[in-house]
Amino acid sequence: MTDQALHSKAFNQAIAEDLLIGSHCLVCGNISIPQRQICPNCHSDQIERIQSNGRGTLATFTVIYIPPTSMAEAGYNAKNPYCVGIVALEEGPRISAQIIGMDLSDPETIKIGLPLKQTSVVRGEGESAKKFLAFEPA
Ligand SMILES: [Zn+2]
C-alpha cells in the first residue's frame, strides 16, 4: 500500500471509532485533517497525530438529488436527497462530509456558519455496512 492509502485506512479506522484524526506539524504548526505524513505547508516530516474535537461550522454545502452509484445504492435519489458540506473545523482545516439533520425540503433554511458537530452515518447493510464521517447541527 502507498503511504496515502495507509493514511486513508488509519483515517477510516478512526472514523469507525467516531474519531477524527489529523496531523500537526512540529516545524510550522500546520494542522491537516485527514492526517498527512508530510506537511503540505513546509514539507517537513516532523509531524504528530492529533485528534479533532469534531466541532466546526458549515462553510458551504450542496444538496445532491442525482447521486453517484455508491450513494444511489445507499438509498439516495431525487426524492430522498442528501446534503454534502464543507465544514470549517475549529482546528482550522476544512473537510468534506455528509451533513445530516437538515430540512432538505427547503434548502434555503440551511445557513452558512451553522455550528456543527461530528457524527457518523452507516451506509450499506450487513457485511458491507460501513461507517462514514458526517456532521449534524451542534
Ligand atoms: Zn509544516
Handedness of CA 55, 86, 58, 93 (dihedral sign): positive
Cell of 18: 467516531
pLDDT < 50 stretches in the chain: none
- Residues 63-86 have pLDDT tens digits of 999 999 989 998 999 999 999 999
35 C-alpha vs ligand 1 centroid, how far in Å?
Answer: 12
**Total residue count of the chain as it appears in this document:** 138
Cα of 39 vs centre of ligand 1, distance in Å, is 5
Compute, in angstroms, the gap from residue 113 CA to the centroid of ligand 1: 28
Q: Quote the ligand 1 centre to 38 CA distance (angstroms).
A: 8
* CA 24 – CA 95 distance, rounded (Å): 16
Distance 41 CA to ligand 1 centre (A): 5
Helix (H, G, I), strand (E, B) or coil at 114: coil
DSSP structure class, residue 90: T
Separation of CA 33 and ligand 1 centre (Å): 13
Please name which of 52, 80, 50, 51 lies closest in space to residue 65, comparing C-alpha atoms: 80
What distance in angstroms lies between residue 47's CA and the mean position of ligand 1's atoms?
8
| Dihedral (Cα; 122, 123, 127, 133), 10-degree rounding | -50
Predicted pLDDT of residue 1: 56
The full set of domains in the chain, from first to last, is 3-51 (no CATH), 55-137 (2.40.50)
pLDDT confidence of residue 30: 96
Query: Ligand 1 centroid vs 137 CA: distance in angstroms?
Result: 32
Q: pTM for this structure?
A: 0.90
pLDDT of residue 51: 95
